[in-house]
């Protein structure tokens, strides 16, 4: 892989995350991963998943039924903001192990499973388009283009997982996110919402650092 092919995906991912105009659109992919994290943990902890909505303003809602308190619901609320970064870290491991096609197919499979639980038209459109791009690349692209695309997706998840945490605290500071995941966790546990935001930041930044250390030797 050429030097350009190694660094272009990272630069493109940074532009999509750092650019205020383009982030408005690229953030939808992070929202998909965020809500997928809520949904997956809800299912794994025995809660009943009822549906997922992805909204055009980049917000999302995952509805599940179960006990309103306890470890399961804490894990479910915590999962959202850290899932994109953890997925990026896992993707970094697969890319460095040269398991690009399995990574792309696993992503398509996860999006297909998520699609079953989407409950609004915009959400269906977002998931279908994202899955279609993954499928086309995994099926038709050359191995070199697949590797470059996988690097882009990995860097985008790692970088894109950090920015929403800062945005969350900015909204909280202005009183515009009273029902955020951090505030829901504060209500359930009694631990201040700021502490949960700092934990989100620690996980997402930590994943970026670790993922970067895995990818940069490439």
Average pLDDT over residues 23-46: 97
Identify the residue whose tokens are 């750092």: 18
Instruction: Report the run of H or E that residue 117 belongs to, with start and end.
Output: none
Q: Tell me, what's the pLDDT at 20?
A: 81
In this structure, the number of other CB atoms found within 10 A of the CB of residue 194 comes to: 14
**pLDDT at residue 5 greater than cutoff 60:** yes
Q: Tell me, what's the pLDDT at 157?
A: 98
Q: Tell me, what's the pLDDT at 119?
A: 97
Q: Long-range contacts: 25-28, Cβ < 8 Å, 24+?
A: 26/156, 26/160, 27/58, 27/160, 27/164, 28/54, 28/58, 28/126
Angle at 159 between CA 86 and CA 15, to 5 degrees: 150
**pLDDT at residue 218 greater than cutoff 60:** no
3-class SS at 120?
coil
Cα–Cα dist 121/128, whole Å: 11
**pLDDT at residue 4 greater than cutoff 90:** no
- pLDDT tens by residue, 134-192: 999 999 999 999 999 999 999 999 999 999 999 999 999 999 988 999 999 999 999 99
**pLDDT at residue 25 greater than cutoff 60:** yes
- pLDDT tens by residue, 64-110: 999 988 999 999 999 999 999 999 999 999 999 999 999 999 999 99
Closest CA to 163 of 53, 26, 5, 4: 26
- pLDDT tens by residue, 123-146: 999 999 999 999 999 999 999 999
**pLDDT at residue 203 greater than cutoff 70:** yes
Q: Tell me, what's the pLDDT at 216?
A: 84
Q: Tell me, what's the pLDDT at 36?
A: 98
């Amino acid at each position: 892989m050429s030097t350009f092919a190694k660094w272009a995906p990272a630069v493109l991912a940074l532009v999509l995350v750092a650019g205020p105009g383009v982030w408005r659109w690229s953030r939808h992919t992070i929202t998909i991963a965020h809500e997928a994290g809520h949904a997956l943990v809800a299912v794994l902890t025995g809660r009943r998943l009822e549906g997922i909505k992805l909204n055009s303003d980049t917000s999302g809602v995952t509805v599940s039924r179960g006990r309103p308190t306890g470890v399961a619901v804490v894990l479910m609320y915590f999962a959202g903001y850290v899932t994109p970064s953890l997925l990026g870290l896992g993707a970094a491991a697969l890319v460095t192990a040269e398991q690009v096609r399995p990574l792309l197919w696993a992503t398509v499979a996860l999006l297909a499973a998520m699609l079953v639980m989407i409950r609004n038209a915009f959400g269906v459109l977002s998931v279908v388009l994202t899955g279609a791009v993954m499928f086309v690349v995994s099926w038709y692209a050359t191995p070199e283009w697949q590797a470059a695309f996988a690097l882009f997706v990995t860097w985008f998840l790692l970088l894109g997982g950090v920015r929403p945490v800062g945005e969350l605290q900015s909204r909280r500071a202005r009183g515009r996110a009273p029902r955020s995941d951090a505030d829901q966790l504060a209500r359930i546990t009694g631990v201040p919402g700021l502490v949960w935001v700092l934990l989100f930041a620690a996980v997402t930044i930590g994943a970026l650092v670790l993922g970067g250390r895995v990818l940069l030797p490439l």
